[in-house]
Homo-oligomer: A and B are copies of this chain.
């Protein structure tokens, strides 16, 4: 019997942090990753645009016969999830709810900060998800639009990256949050630097593990989990697959053999 794959997508490379956690938690599953390198970044674009890009990808993943889809992008989860769920036949899991739940479980002082793209912050999706778990949490949201280009350009270890982080995180320190959500799948790549700026007393919530856990729970509950054989990974990018492969190698421990080109709307 042919294994049905799990579809995973992001605007670019960031979702690979989720993919990595999925491969570790679910080694028998076939995975299809789609990086929308033709339209990256999503963070500063409108709800309409992000929804349009996401719908195109979801339709492509459905055409590949996936059994479920993981929106490994906070901006797309924040802006497009309801529309995607309405227009799609397979179950879809986003990254916002699992991350919000973990942060609420972690905070001791009831003060949580959310780092995200402009789109994610403006959507208030994290704030809504956090307040649904516990309406007494004090929330500070901070947009960090330059973090995505820093990651996409592999500039995360340069002094300028630290300076940019210090600028963005000043408001988070002022808020005295003891728990900070890395609300963009690109940000875990900057985790060490963010931890250095915020100090050891702050817990950073990286949604990769919790999302992998949520996917595992869903598969088990619905008897869809594979239990044998090594899972296969297939990677698509909507533009310049060679560049995508080269940069992905910096983010994933596993080497990607091939990145296929799949143009959307072309």
Chain A contacts to B: CB under 8 angstroms? 37-39, 44-46, 48-49, 52, 145-146, 149-150, 152-153, 155, 158-160, 163-164, 167, 239-240, 243, 263, 265-266
Contacts and interface: CB of A to CB of B under 8 A. Distances in A.
Nearest to A158: B167
Given A49-B239, A52-B266, A239-B49, A153 B146 contact: yes
Nearest to A238: B49
Contacts of A145: 149, 153
Contacts of A263: 48
Contacts of A265: 265
A46 B239 contact: yes
Contacts of A48: 239, 263
Copies of this protein in the assembly total 2
Nearest to A242: B46
A45 B163 contact: no
Contacts of A52: 266
A146 to B, nearest CB: 6
A55 to B, nearest CB: 11
Contacts of A38: 39, 45, 49
A48 B263 CA distance: 10
27 contacts: A37-B45, A38-B39, A38-B45, A38-B49, A44-B153, A44-B240, A45-B240, A46-B243, A48-B239, A48-B263, A49-B239, A145-B149, A146-B146, A146-B149, A146-B153, A146-B155, A146-B160, A149-B149, A158-B163, A158-B164, A158-B167, A159-B163, A160-B160, A160-B164, A160-B167, A163-B163, A265-B265
